[in-house]
Amino acid sequence: MSDPEPCRMKHTEDPEEQRELSEVEEESEELSEVKEESEELSEVEEEHHVKPGEKPLSRSKTKKTLLKKRRAKKSTTCTQCGKSFPSKHKLEIHMRVHTGEKPFTCDQCGKRFSDKQNLKKHIKVHTGERPFTCDQCGKTFLRASDLKRHLTVHMKEKPHSCSVCGKSFSQLQYLHAHEKIHTCVREYMCFECEKTFTSANNLKVHERIHTGEKPYKCSHCDKRFSQSTNLKKHERLHTGEKLKCDQCGIIFSIKCHLKRHMKIHV
């Protein structure tokens, strides 16, 4: 006699049963939404404590207005770092910091930017536009912040002194850069030739040797340069500009020669 066949549960798709199950799921989702909204409302009420003489947040219209403001604030907060922004557009631009997206490209050198405004500032490097002028020496600058920093050169005060050699500086950042000469700290390395540098800017200028990048174009001819100082020297050939010592009247064609000469008068 053979063993009896084991009892097996037969799955039947009963339409009435499926409908009931669907209703239960919908009710569960609705309850979850209500609970979430209730929690948000409680937080809103906690943030807006009732002060003596004030009416509590009883009207649903007032509550909804506050909830709307709260949700709007959440929608302009970065989910990566928690930073808040005044608009969704500003948040979208900020998110490129995390994604690495750089949709704006310079048509002169191919350099890419995450923000259109930064691209506009960069383009001035190629056009030679330097709208900010020092009223002390006539030197021009690309940005107002650069001019502000430069103006400290004309101030006699140099409160930041090197503890090793005693050399003084008008700004702390200049002192820190100088101190690396004594400590031999060269933390910036070129991955192409492994040469090291004391600052990120010096490394950036050096890397142009490998990339062939020449972002500085002469406004008088088509010649290009990898460094702005070389461009300035070259443009003096076109303009005939000379650098004159204001102490003795000797004329120089190269700025560093004038600087070296000025030490005679100190």
Domain of residue 220, CATH code: 3.30.160.60
Q: Which residue has the tokens 């709307």?
A: 68
Please state, rounded to an integer, the average pLDDT across all residues of the chain: 75
Residue 234 and residue 163 share a domain: no
Mean pLDDT of 91-106: 86
Which has the higher per-residue pLDDT, 222 or 170? 222
Question: Which domain range does residue 166 map to?
Answer: 132-184
Any domain includes 174: yes
Interatomic CA distance for residues 167 and 173, integer angstroms:
14
Asked whether the predicted pLDDT for residue 102 surpasses 60, the reply is yes
Any domain includes 212: yes
8 Å CB contact between 114 and 96: yes
Asked whether the predicted pLDDT for residue 196 surpasses 60, the reply is yes
Interatomic CA distance for residues 63 and 69, integer angstroms:
10
8 Å CB contact between 77 and 95: no
Q: Which residues contact 142 (CB under 8 A, 6 or more apart)?
A: 121, 124, 125, 129, 130, 131, 132
Any domain includes 15: no
pLDDT score at 197: 87
pLDDT score at 252: 78
pLDDT score at 9: 43
Any domain includes 101: yes
Residue 12: which pLDDT band, with cuts at 50, 70 and 90?
very low
Residue 206 and residue 141 share a domain: no
Interatomic CA distance for residues 71 and 69, integer angstroms:
6
Any domain includes 65: no
Work out how many domains the chain is built from and give that number: 3
Any domain includes 45: no
Residue 109: which pLDDT band, with cuts at 50, 70 and 90?
confident
8 Å CB contact between 170 and 155: yes
Interatomic CA distance for residues 193 and 178, integer angstroms:
24
Residue 154 and residue 102 share a domain: no
Interatomic CA distance for residues 46 and 66, integer angstroms:
12
Residue 172 and residue 226 share a domain: no
Output phi, psi for 104, to 5 deg. Answer: -105, 120
Any domain includes 2: no
